[in-house]
Chain A
Amino acid sequence: MDDVFRELYQEIILDHNKNPRHFGVPDSYTHSAEGYNPLCGDKVHVFLTVRDGKIDSISFKGEGCAISKASASVMTTLLTGMPLAEAHALMKRFVEVVTGPMDGIVDIDEERFGQLLAFVGVREFPARVKCATLAWHAMEAALKQGEGSVTTE
C-alpha cells in the first residue's frame, strides 16, 4: 500500500482531507454552484465573492472522499485573491494535471502551485479523476452561471 500512498494519498491530500481550509457556508457571496457526482454521491458546493475582476474569497462545503475534499480545499487556498483571468487559466491547468498523459510534463509554476502536483497521482486511477475535478468544475460553473448545479457526468 505504501506505493499507493506515495502516488495518490500524499501528505498534502491527507492533511487537507483532515483539516479542510475555508470549509463552510459564508454569510455572503456573489457566486455559488454545486458539483455533484451521481456515481458516488459526492457533493461539493462552492461559494465565492468576486469583486473588481478578482476572487476575494472562496469557501466550500460538501461530502466526499479524501481526494475530492482535499482538491476543493487546495483550490480555495490557491484561488483566493486571484484575478479571474488567471483563475480560469489555473482551473484549466489543473484538469490537465489530473487527466494529462502519463508521461506528459506538467507545465506549472511549482513555486506558486506546487501543491497541485500532489494530484498528479490521480491520473493512474481513472475512476478517481472525477473526484479530483469535482470542485474545480463547480468553480467554473459558479463563475459562468452565477448560481447553478454542475455534474461530472
Chain B
Amino acid sequence: MSTTVKTPEKIAGKRRFDPAVVRGEFPILSTRVHGKPLAFLDSAASSQKPEVVIETIANYYRSEHSNIHRGVYYLSEIATAKYEAARETTRRFLNAGSTREIIFTAGTTDAINLVANAYGREFFREGDEVLISGMEHHANIVSWQLVCQDLGAKLKVIPINERGELDLESLPGLISERTRMVGIVYVSNSLGTVNPVKEVIRIAHQHGVPVLVDAAQATSHLSVDVQDLDADFLAMSGHKVYGPTGVGVLYGKEHHLEKMRPFKGGGDMIRSVTFEKTTFNDLPFKFEAGTPNIAGVIGLAAALEYVMAFDINEVAAWEDELLQYGENLLAGVPGLRRIGTAAHRAGSLAFVLADVHPHDIGTLLDHEGVAIRTGHHCTQPVMSYFKVPATSRASVAMYNNKADLEALQRGLLKIVEVFR
C-alpha cells in the first residue's frame, strides 16, 4: 500500500527484519493493561522506544552529560562529539547533502513554525499565497495562518477526494504568481494517505515555488530522501520514529537557510554580541538558540540507527501486511465504516462505528488492553470534510503483530453487541 524509495546506501549489510524479535526489543510492549496484554495501536500519535534508545539516553545522563559547544573539558567534549555525530546520523537518515542543512528542533511543529517565521516573515508580502493540502495536521495549517494573518497573505487549500487522496490535478491551477510556499504532509496522520510529494514538489518547482514537507508520519514507514524528493524544507519528529519526545529535525536546503533570519535569539546561535549589534553563527547553529535537547538528540540518533539497521522495505512490507489484515478484520465488524481509503497508505486505519461515539470506543477498548486514538487527530478540516465529529484510529508500527489487531476486532465486536 505504501510507496518506498530504495536508496542503495541503505540496503547493503542490513539486519534481517524479524517482527517477533523486534517486538521483544520494546520493553513497554510487555505491559498488561487491566489484566490484559497491551495491544498498542497508537503509534501514529507516538511510537514506543526500543531498549537501545532508552539505554542510550540513560547512559548519556549517567556518564556523558554536560553542556555542548562550550566547555573545554572531557565531558563537554564527549557530549559535543555525540551531539554532532547525531547530526551526521540524521543527515544520513534523510540523505541530506550536508550537516549544515540539519537543524535540531523540538519537533515537527517547532520545525514548521521555524520556517513559517524565519522564511515567511522575511519573504512573504501582502497578497502573497501559501498553498497547503486539505489533509494537513494543524501544525502545517496554523503556523502559516498566523504568519499570513500578520502579513495580509492568503492561505489556499489543495482539495482532497472522498478516498482521502490529494487532488493532484488541481495543483497547477492553484499555483499563482503570488504563491510563495507549498506545505504538504507526506503521510496523513488521520487518513494514512501517502501523498505523491515528489510530484507535488516537481510541479511547484516548475513555478519556482519552494515546498515544505511534513514528514512526521512518514519517517517510520518509508524511506525519506530529501535529495530524491528535492524538498526545500522537511520537518520530522523524534518520537514518531522510535526516538524521544521533545526533539525533531528541520531539513532545509542550504541556500534557503543561509538567507533566512534566525527565529529565536539566545546562546549558541551567535558569533559575537554587543548591545549595538549581534553577528549570527553559521549554519546550522544559527537556528539552534539556547542549550538544545542534547539527550533527546543523542537518543534520536540511536533511534535512527535502529531503523536504518533494517531494510525499510522489509519493515514497510510487514506493516502493509498488518494493515491489510486489520482492514479485513474491521470489515467483519457490523456498522463499521472506514475513513481514508486511498490507494497508497501507510500506518493508519481510521474508522467510525454506527452510532457509537469514538470516545466510548476508546474507553471500552482500553479495558480490553487495546490502545487506539479517538478524536479529531489535530485535523479538524479532515473531520469536516468527512462530516464526522471524530474518528477512531488504529495505527501500526514495526513492532505490532496480528494478535494486536485481533484484540481490536474482539473489542469492537463486544462494543457493537452492547450498544446494539
Q: Which residues of A contact B (CB under 8 A)?
A: 1, 3-5, 8-9, 14, 17-18, 39-43, 63-67, 69, 125, 127-128, 131
Contacts and interface: CB of A to CB of B under 8 A. Distances in A.
Contacts of A18: 355, 419
Contact of B364 (A9, A40, A63): A9
28 contacts: A1-B364, A1-B367, A1-B368, A1-B411, A1-B418, A3-B367, A4-B363, A4-B364, A5-B418, A9-B360, A9-B364, A14-B418, A14-B419, A17-B419, A18-B355, A39-B375, A40-B358, A40-B359, A41-B375, A41-B383, A41-B389, A41-B390, A43-B389, A63-B389, A65-B358, A66-B419, A128-B359, A131-B359
B418 to A, nearest CB: 6
Contacts of A4: 363-364, 367
B121 interface: no
Interface in B357-382: 357-360, 363-364, 367-368, 374-376, 380
A63 B356 CA distance: 11
B402 interface: no
B314 to A, nearest CB: 36
Contacts of B256: none
B378 to A, nearest CB: 11
Contacts, number: 54
A8 to B, nearest CB: 7
A65 B357 contact: yes
Interface residues of B, number: 21
Contacts of B390: 40-41
A64 B357 contact: yes
B6 interface: no
A5 B358 CA distance: 16
B216 to A, nearest CB: 20
Given A1-B414, A41-B383, A67 B360 contact: yes
Nearest to B359: A65
